[in-house]
Amino acid sequence: MMLDLPLPMARPIGEARRILLLLAAHVAAWTGFCLLYLAPSDLQNDMTEAFSWAQELQLGYYKHPPFYAWVVKAWFSVLPTTDWAFYLLASTNAAIGLAAVWAIAGRYLSGPARLAAVLLLEFLPFYTFQSFNFNANAVLLSLWPLTVLAFLRSFERRDVRSAVALGAVAAAAMLSKYYSGIILACCLAAALAHPDRRRYFAGFAPYLALAVLAAGLAPHVLWHLGVAIGPVDYMASKGSTRAALILAKAGLFVVGCIALHALFGAVLAWLWSRGGAASAEERPAAPSVGDRRMLAVFALGPFLVTVLIALVFQVRINTHFAIPIFALSPLAAIVWLRLAVDAATLRRLAVLAALWLLLLLGVAPVAGAWTLRHDVELAAEPRRAVAEQVTALWRDRIGRPLGVVAGTESYALGTTFYSPDHPSDFTAFAAAYAPWIDADRLRRDGLAVICLTGDGWCLDEAAKYDGLEIWRTQIRVHKTLFGLVGRDFDFTLVFVRPGQTLPLVPVKLRPF
């Protein structure tokens, strides 16, 4: 039996309006939460790193493939370089994933139950709290559900357009993080599990999708073959030969995933209690054997394969790996439990979600202020203030815009975003990490080094410029917000004037 994959416009207009309202509310609420809770904090390293990469468009970077940096480049070519714009990107990315889940849910559910499969994701942290930090994991919140959706459409339609779409979105996922190979493996497993697999593999669609995927990856693969350090090296650094450590990490991952489902489990139990007495006619229709198998593969496969790979290939995993893998948990729960969700239940579920969000919005500014006062999650780090002060000092001493920055990672990356000059990051003082920096670039632009006074590695690297014409000073900076004062941070600044030949070899290469 084939999947029923009607076009979105075939659905009632009212249903489309409800999902659009939910998506708009999600973006508004969680962008607002970020602004309230993270007001004392500057952007996390992953986000400023993505911005620094976006300034140097490449086919890959030393940690990750390039796609999500390209997304950042496109986003900030339209919007201003501000924290709120980055948080808006993060929330929009999550909302795109929710929209894809809604489209997938339409293959199994209709009416209130379909929307509930999306609304329940508001009670899981992956599309909410863990979506703030837009990085190689978070971008998969949209790309993995889109890949599943494209696969389902290609499997049913077996036409050129659907196959090309599948190959393109699969390439985008792989070009964001190699971990996306797991969702592609699940697509293959889902196709093989379906009774119509022979018809699918007898046609051209899977092979055209594979060709588009290969074409999309080819430039990045060629790039990787020509660089000193790339994502494969970074990925290899996450392994360990200590079996006990791997087992412990995998165990903590499983326990952590269960714990992260706690609130969702409670809401699901509430739904079960409300619909427990529903008749068979009021419950969702049981899907076909093929559809049921596919849903099982996509709902459970990413989790199981992640744990299996960690154990077999000795990879140290943590719950950040879980961010994209549970998008279909609510859908699977509703389908497998055949939960009855009528309009009244959906309204109560929406009210519960709204109350949860309002509670978080009310607590957010108080919790944010607490993080600054107690230096939780490094909220007191004055990255923006340092970037602005360093830029002003550079312009005053050197008399030109700041072009290249290096030093303690948080502050070098932060300066690329918060400095009005948006300098390039000379990552770890090594061209292997920052191939866009060469001797000519350093001779032309000079270099500003920002070291936390206690960062011995950074100070050792800065010392190798002592024989050149430099300007050295120390500054003390703290963060202030609404009368709250963060702790003091001391920095050593070394400005290497332009027009000189700088050593390119690092004293000690910083580990991943």
- pLDDT tens, residue by residue, 115-135: 999 999 999 999 999 999 999
Least confident of 100-109, 249-258, 271-280, 496-505: 271-280
Q: Is the pLDDT of residue 10 over 50?
A: no
Confidence category of residue 27, pLDDT binned at 50, 70, 90: very high
Q: Is the pLDDT of residue 424 over 90?
A: yes
What is d(CA 436, CA 430) in angstroms, rounded to the nearest whole number?
Answer: 10
pLDDT, residue 6, reads 41
Q: What percent of the chain has pLDDT over 70?
A: 95
pLDDT, residue 485, reads 84
Q: Is the pLDDT of residue 384 over 90?
A: yes
pLDDT, residue 280, reads 59
505 neighbors 411 (Cβ within 8 angstroms) = no
**What is 144-170 written as a DSSP string?**
HHHHHHHHHHHHHH--HHHHHHHHHHH
3-state SS class at 45 = helix
pLDDT in tens, 168-215: 999 999 999 999 999 999 999 999 999 999 999 999 999 999 999 999
Summary mean pLDDT of the chain: 92
Tokens standing for residue 426: 């000379």
Residue with tokens 């997304």: 71
Q: Is the pLDDT of residue 428 over 50?
A: yes
3-state SS class at 476 = strand
Mean pLDDT, rounded, for 53-68? 95
CA distances to 119, 275, 278, 332, 351 from 267, rounded to whole Å, are 11, 12, 18, 15, 12
β pairing state of 470-477 and 484-485: unpaired
Q: Is the pLDDT of residue 2 over 50?
A: no
Q: Is the pLDDT of residue 421 over 60?
A: yes
Q: Which among 169, 188, 142 has a CA at the least distance from the CA of 323?
A: 142
pLDDT, residue 183, reads 98
Residue 447 dihedral angles phi and psi, to the nearest 5°: -155, 135
Confidence category of residue 13, pLDDT binned at 50, 70, 90: low
Q: Which among 504, 477, 497 has a CA at the least distance from the CA of 418?
A: 477
pLDDT in tens, 226-267: 998 999 988 888 888 888 999 999 999 999 999 999 999 999
pLDDT, residue 360, reads 95
Q: Which among 358, 330, 479 has a CA at the least distance from the CA of 418?
A: 479
Least confident of 330-334, 480-484, 501-505: 480-484
Confidence category of residue 89, pLDDT binned at 50, 70, 90: very high
Q: How long a stretch of residues is the chain? A: 512
